[in-house]
Structures are given as C-alpha cells and as structure tokens.
C-alpha cells in the first residue's frame, strides 16, 4: 500500500510538471505565430536574458580579473561577473563534455531540479498538512511566475532544490548531510550562507548546550560555509580582493549601510523600483505568518534571504529572491489550508502572473 501511495504522488508531480511546461510552450508558439516572429530563434536561446549572459561568460571564459584597480576606485559603471557565485557555472562546465550547447545543458539541468523540487516540497508539506494541501503546494511551484527564471540559465532552480534538501535533512536530524547541503547552498548565492543561522537555532534545540556539542557545531558550520569560504579564497588569489563579489556590486547600485549615501539610495531604490519593494514587504509579512504558525526556522530563513537587499539600499531582484524560496509558497499554503476559495484565488493569480511574466520576458518588455 505504501508503494502505491508513493507512486501516486510521483505521477501527480509528473503530470503537474508537464502541464506547466505545456502551457509555457503553448504561449511561446502563440507569440511566435500570431504576435511576433522570433526569426527561427529556438526557445532555449530566447529564454537566455539578463544574468544568463553573465553565467555563460563564467562557464566559457571564467571569472573576470581586474587586480590593478583597488575596489574603492572601481569605475561606477564597471560590471563584473565575480558577483555571481560559482556552483551553477561549475556544474554546467563539468557537464559540457556531453554537448557544446551549454544553454541546452542548463535547460535540462534546471528542469530536472525543478521537478525534483516538486517532489521534495510534497515530502516537506506532507509532514505538516494533508495530501490535498501538499499537492496544492506542488501546483504553486509548478505554475510560479518564477518559471521564467526556472527555464532560463539562472541559479534559482538549484537554490530552491538545495534549500529544500537542507531543510528536509535538518528536520530529520541528519546534521552532517545538512551541513554538506548548506555548503553547496553557500556556493550558489551569497544569501545561501545565511542558512547557518536557522541551522544553529535548530541544532541547539535538539542538542543541549555543551562544549562537545559546540565543537561539533563549529565543525558542521565550517562545512555549511565551505562553499563561500572556497569562493572568497579563490577571489583573493585571483583578484587580491576576497570580498570582490560585494565590492563590485556598486555598479549595480548597491551601497551598503554605513555608506554616506545609503539613505539617499534607499529612497531612490524605493521610488525607482516600487514593485521589488512591494515584494520585500510581502516577504516580511510572509515571515510573520510563518512565525505565527510556528514555522520558526522557516520564518528566520525567509527573513534573512531578503535582508541583504535592505542593507544594500537596493531592492533589485527581490521578487526573484522571494519566488525562488520555498518559504513563500509555504506561506500561501498556510493561508489557504482551510479555504478552497483562497486556493482558487492564489492559483488564478499565479497563472495570470505566470503568463504575463513569460510574455514580457520573451518580448523584452
């Protein structure tokens, strides 16, 4: 009976995943034949926009090098690919022996990661909710507006997958494997290293404080941070600036707190990019909802994920960061667990945004 049940939810995940991809390709064909012609540009190439080109440059040419200019005198318009973390490009590079088309590798890899994330999210939700609610959570991720990033050459699918792996391992008290997953998370995006804080909180809930447990956690925390530690070591030898990934974000308009122009830039960021600021507020409210419903660990992590955007006086890409975290979808599941109307409402909003984001992405709006 257990085998039948497992097979059933796996089939559900497969069907929902394929349905979401079918909708994407249908929209692509509709745009291609009735609205605008893409001049024989294939779908995968068309999806490569914005940060995709930075990740491609890392895979093909490695990280930029500019050792002759101190970080405090970087030109304000100097953009560098060192702000992008190495795990995703490294995986693509390691698989490039299969084909020279790295975009195709990224497309297949990201779809496999998203499909795997649907299964992991179901396994996570079924520990807290009934089967119907767990399946609704799977649908939310499958039809998330973030699919424009999930289908492109971005790190969002890898980040979502590793977040779910880390939390599932953590809640099963597999602390060594949790730290390894956290280490990979910290090599995926800068905010990945913040997983160590909820990890610390949960570890000492389950283990009474003692010197031996503290020493164990120090070892585990080093493993959990090993991704970013290896990266900053590489940057030091590569560029003589182990925080180059922070310093070179000035070109993107990020000015960290303590900078004299921080508050001016904060005001400018809110007025120039109000949509991402709204997503920051949504994420903050999401953390409150999670906390009130006793998802304390998830609440802490969700809050930490967008906090760097505040301290850098820039809300650039906040919507992308929120939508690539399972905590946001968990919040929607909590809010709609007792209401079919809310489940229907959230799903309608997601599908509308799903189609809207996708068409804007393809049309470069």
Of 17, 112, 27, nearest to 363 by C-alpha is 27
% of the chain with per-residue pLDDT over 70: 82
Cβ atoms of 84 and 192 within 8 Å: the answer is no
Q: Does an H or E element contain 274, and which? A: helix 274-292
**Residue 187, helix vs strand vs coil:** coil
Q: What are phi and psi of 241, to 5 degrees?
A: -150, 95
73 secondary structure, DSSP code: G
Going from the C-alpha of 77 to that of each of 19, 74, 247, the distances in angstroms are 42, 8, 13
- Per DSSP, the chain holds a count of helices (H) and strands (E) of 19, 0
**Residue 126, helix vs strand vs coil:** coil
Tell me: pLDDT of 97 over 50. yes
What number of other Cβ atoms are within 10 A of residue 47's Cβ? 25
Residue by residue, DSSP assigns 3-49 as HHHHHHHHHHHHHHHHHHHHHHHHHHHHIIIII---TT--HHHHT--
**pTM, two decimal places:** 0.86
Q: pLDDT tens, 36-73? A: 555 566 777 777 887 888 888 888 888 877 644 444 44
Average pLDDT rounded to a whole number, residues 71-95: 75
The span from the CA of 203 to the CA of 185, in Å, is 18
Q: For the chain, what are the domain ranges?
A: 2-363
Q: pLDDT tens, 317-341? A: 778 888 888 999 999 999 998 888 9
Q: pLDDT tens, 334-362? A: 999 888 899 999 989 988 888 888 877 77
């Amino acid at each position: 009976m257990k085998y039948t049940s497992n097979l059933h939810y796996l089939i559900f995940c497969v069907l929902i995943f394929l349905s979401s991809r079918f909708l994407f390709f249908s929209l692509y064909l509709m745009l291609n034949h009735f609205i605008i012609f893409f001049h024989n540009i294939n779908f995968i190439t068309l999806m490569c926009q914005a940060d995709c080109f930075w990740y491609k440059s890392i895979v093909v040419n490695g990280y930029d090098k500019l050792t002759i200019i101190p970080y405090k005198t970087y030109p304000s318009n100097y953009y560098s690919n060192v702000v992008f973390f190495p795990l995703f490009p490294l995986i693509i590079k390691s698989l490039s022996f299969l084909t020279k088309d790295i975009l195709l590798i990224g497309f297949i890899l990201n779809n496999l990661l998203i499909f795997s994330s649907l299964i992991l999210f179901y396994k996570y939700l079924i520990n807290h909710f009934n089967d119907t609610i767990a399946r609704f959570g799977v649908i939310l991720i499958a039809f998330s507006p973030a699919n424009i990033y999930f289908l492109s050459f971005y790190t969002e699918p890898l980040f979502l997958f590793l977040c779910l792996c880390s939390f599932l391992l953590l809640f099963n008290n597999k602390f060594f494997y949790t730290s390894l997953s956290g280490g990979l998370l910290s090599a995926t995006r800068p905010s990945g290293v913040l997983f160590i804080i909820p990890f610390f909180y949960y570890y000492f809930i389950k283990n009474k404080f003692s010197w031996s447990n503290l020493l164990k956690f120090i070892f585990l925390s080093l493993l959990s941070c090993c991704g970013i530690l290896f990266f900053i070591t590489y940057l030091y030898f590569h560029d003589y600036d182990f925080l180059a990934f922070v310093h070179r974000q000035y070109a993107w308009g990020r000015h960290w707190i303590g900078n004299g122009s921080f508050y001016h830039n904060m005001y400018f960021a809110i007025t120039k990019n109000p949509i991402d600021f709204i997503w920051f507020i949504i994420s903050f409210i999401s953390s409150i909802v999670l906390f009130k419903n006793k998802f304390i660990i998830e609440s802490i992590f969700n809050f930490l994920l967008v906090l760097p955007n505040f301290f850098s006086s820039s809300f650039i890409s906040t919507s992308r960061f929120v939508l690539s975290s399972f905590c946001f979808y968990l919040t929607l599941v909590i809010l709609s667990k007792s209401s079919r109307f809310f489940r229907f409402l959230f799903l309608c909003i997601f599908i509308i945004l799903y189609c809207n984001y996708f068409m804007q992405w393809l049309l470069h709006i």
